[in-house]
């Protein structure tokens, strides 16, 4: 029987400083799996800093751009300073050569003034390249046989810079070729998330926050038995903890529920993460690197627990709503199809939040391409646009079908605010669109009604005991 592989992914806040690197080392050291792969994000705030330095350089502010990176290189040096002499010397050399390379790139952009998408990916990739090298060194000092692997040798994508799409066959082939010999030799590969390369080796990235996605792609390629996403909260919570102090961990989610929560704004998971895991039926657990003793959330195919209950409330602000009312000619000629074609043409995610015979409501966080999209939509009907809107989405498998539960939840939702209308875009959700300013109040009331008054949640969810 092949050995069991666990892929452990650590986010930026889980490696924000030297103490955090130490916590990660302890977590990896105490992992009992036969084989472990580590995927890591850039240190917190580093990707933002790299991308904004490029913008500054493009505006000719080269000194500010270079200075803004220094602070973060210092943070890496600080972590390196905790290593023993030879490892520290290697890490310092690496950081200094990265300083020079970034300096060259920024200088070039300050002349050309053209920060291409390709260059953006190139500069953004340094965050994960540095953090993964440093983590490999820290793990090695703890006696773990860690080896740095350049993720660009594994994850292979198309040329859509900034949000490249993995090519599944090649990604599997290259990931196995790079990682399996190390795993067989008992080593722990450590690689960056987020970064990838085209077939010809040009650096790409998978989209902001996509290190989670790298982890499930690697799991799928290796046929891993588990993906662990280590972050700074106790798993997926019943609502955003920044808004709701009483939010609590959801112990179990199905793949469908997790994907829906991520799609409607839950920050804890990148929206594409679930797809490879669900396809290969690999469980994903979400854990807190500051509190590893907590069980966190387990996401798997198992759905029988608490069918028909709201598991969590996600929300998304900064939304623009676009209401399209069709002209009669279009109703007969595939109105929805025309809208999907427009969304596809602009390569944008337009969430359809309500449909009727003659109209559709779309929600988008897109800003730059929106005017063009609206122009195209005017070809199929009359269009009304409203901004500063938010979506609230209550998610739970079988919400629609479970006897009694849909009406119970609907009445709880009505009690919260009778002016809001709720609809569903799948059997797993209830969605409402409202003014952004009202989100805090409405979610508090909803959370109270559903989780504290127990209108829609079944306490059996905690079956893991």
- Tell me, residue by residue from 148 to 187, as one string, x for binding to ligand ASP by CB under 6 A and - for no binding: ----------------------------------------
Return the structure tokens found at 157.
Answer: 């994508």
Diameter over CA atoms, the chain: 75
From CA 291, how far away is CA 118, in angstroms rounded? 38
Cβ-contact 390, 263 below 8 angstroms? no
Q: How many other C-beta atoms lie within 10 A of the C-beta of residue 227? A: 29
**How many C-alpha atoms does 159 have within 13 Å on its Cβ side?**
6
Which of 126/422 has CB closer to ligand ASP?
126
CA-angle at 446, arms to 441 and 448, nearest 5°: 100
Q: What angle do CA 138, 143, 145 make, to 5 degrees?
A: 85
* Residue 396 binds which entry of Mg ion, ligand ASP, none, CB below 5-8 Å type-dependent: none
> Which residue in the set 37, 42, 83, 443 belongs to the binding site for ligand ASP (CB under 6 A)?
42
Q: Interacting stretch for Mg ion, rule CB under 5 A, among 5-13, 157-165, 404-412, 415-423?
A: 5-13
| Cβ at position 233, least distance to ligand ASP in Å | 15
Q: Does 209 bind Mg ion (CB under 5 A)?
A: yes
For residue 295, count CB atoms less than 10 angstroms from its CB and return exposed for 0-12, middle for 13-18, buried for 19 or more: middle
Binding pattern for the stretch 197-226 against ligand ASP, x by CB under 6 A and - elsewhere: -----------xxxx---------------
Min. distance of Cβ 409 from Mg ion in angstroms?
Answer: 29
- Please pick, from the candidates 49, 115, 127, 443, the single residue that binds ligand ASP as defined by CB under 6 A: 127
Site for ligand ASP in 368-387 (CB under 6 A): none
**CB of residue 229 vs ligand ASP: minimum separation in angstroms?**
10
> Taking contact as CB under 5 A, which single stretch among the options 4-12, 24-32, 390-398, 441-449 is the one that binds Mg ion?
4-12
Among 10, 126, 148, 194, binds ligand ASP (CB under 6 A): 194
Residues touching ligand ASP, count (CB under 6 A): 11
- Contacting range for Mg ion; rule: CB under 5 A; set: 21-29, 115-123, 204-212, 414-422: 204-212
Q: What is the rounded CA–CA span in Å between residue 315 and residue 262?
A: 10
Cβ closest to ligand ASP, residue 208 vs residue 280: 208
Sheet of 203-205: strand order equals 156-157, 195-198, 203-205
- Taking CB under 5 A as the binding criterion, the range among 98-106, 157-165, 201-209, 289-297 that sits at the site for Mg ion is 201-209
208 binds, among Mg ion, ligand ASP, none (CB under 5 to 8 A by kind): ligand ASP
Q: Which is nearer to ligand ASP, 47 or 227 (CB)?
A: 47
Instruction: Compute the distance between CA of residue 155 and CA of residue 197 in angstroms, rounded to an integer.
Output: 7
Question: Could you tell me the smallest distance in angstroms from the CB atom of residue 199 to Mg ion?
Answer: 27
Cβ neighbour number for residue 149 with a 10 Å cutoff: 23
Q: Which is nearer to ligand ASP, 47 or 175 (CB)?
A: 47
Could you count the other beta carbons within 10 Å of the beta carbon of residue 151? 30
Helix residue ranges, H only, 142-167: none
Please name the residues in contact with 338: beta carbons below 8 A apart, sequence gap of 6 or more.
Answer: 330, 379, 380
Residue positions counted in the chain: 465
Write the DSSP string, 42-87: PSTTHHHHHHHHHHHHHTT-HHHHHHHHHHHHHHHHHHHTTS-HHH
209 versus 456: smaller Cβ distance to ligand ASP? 209
According to CB under 6 A, which one of 115, 193, 271, 308 is a site residue for ligand ASP?
193
CB of 31 to ligand ASP, least distance (A): 21
Residues forming contacts to ligand ASP in the complex (CB under 6 A) are 12, 41-42, 47, 127, 193-194, 208-211
């Amino acid at each position: 029987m092949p050995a069991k592989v666990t892929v452990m992914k650590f986010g930026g806040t889980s490696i924000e400083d030297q103490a955090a690197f130490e916590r990660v080392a302890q977590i990896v050291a105490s992992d009992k799996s036969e084989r472990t792969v580590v995927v890591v994000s850039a240190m917190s705030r580093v990707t933002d800093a790299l991308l904004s330095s490029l913008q500054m350089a493009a505006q000719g502010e080269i000194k500010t751009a270079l200075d803004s990176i220094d602070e973060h290189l210092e943070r890496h040096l600080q972590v390196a300073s905790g290593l023993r002499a030879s490892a520290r010397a290697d890490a310092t050399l690496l950081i200094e050569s990265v300083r020079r390379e970034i300096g060259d790139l920024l200088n070039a952009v300050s002349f050309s003034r053209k920060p291409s998408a390709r260059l953006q990916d190139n500069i953004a990739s340094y965050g994960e390249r540095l953090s993964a090298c440093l983590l490999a060194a820290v793990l090695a000092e703890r006696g773990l046989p860690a080896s740095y692997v350049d993720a660009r040798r594994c994850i292979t994508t198309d040329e859509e810079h900034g949000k490249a799409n993995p090519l599944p066959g090649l990604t599997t082939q290259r990931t196995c070729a790079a990682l399996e010999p190390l795993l067989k030799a008992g080593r722990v590969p450590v690689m960056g998330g987020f970064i990838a390369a085209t077939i010809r080796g040009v650096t790409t990235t998978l989209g902001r926050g996509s290190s989670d996605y790298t982890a499930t792609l690697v799991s799928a390629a290796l046929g891993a038995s588990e993906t662990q996403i280590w972050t700074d909260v106790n798993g997926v919570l019943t609502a955003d903890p920044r808004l709701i102090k009483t939010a609590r961990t959801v112990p179990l989610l199905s793949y469908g529920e997790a994907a829906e929560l991520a799609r409607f704004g839950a920050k804890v998971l990148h929206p594409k993460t679930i797809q490879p895991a669900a396809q290969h039926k690999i469980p994903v657990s979400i854990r807190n690197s500051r509190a590893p003793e907590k069980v966190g959330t387990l996401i798997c195919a198992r759905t029988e627990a608490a069918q028909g209950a709201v598991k969590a409330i996600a929300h998304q602000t900064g939304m623009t709503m676009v209401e399209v009312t069709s002209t009669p000619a279009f109703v007969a000629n595939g109105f929805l199809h025309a809208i999907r074609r427009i969304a596809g043409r602009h390569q944008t995610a337009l969430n359809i939040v309500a449909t009727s015979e003659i109209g559709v409501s779309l929600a988008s966080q897109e800003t730059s391409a929106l005017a063009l999209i609206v122009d195209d939509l005017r070809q199929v009907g009359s269009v009304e646009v409203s901004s500063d809107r938010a979506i609230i989405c209550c998610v739970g498998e079988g919400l629609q079908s479970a006897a009694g539960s849909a009406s119970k939840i609907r009445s709880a939702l009505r009690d919260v605010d009778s002016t809001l209308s709720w609809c569903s875009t799948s059997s797993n959700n209830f969605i409402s669109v409202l003014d952004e300013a009202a989100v805090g109040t409405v979610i508090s009331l909803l959370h109270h009604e559903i989780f504290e008054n127990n209108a829609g949640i079944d306490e059996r969810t905690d079956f893991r005991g």
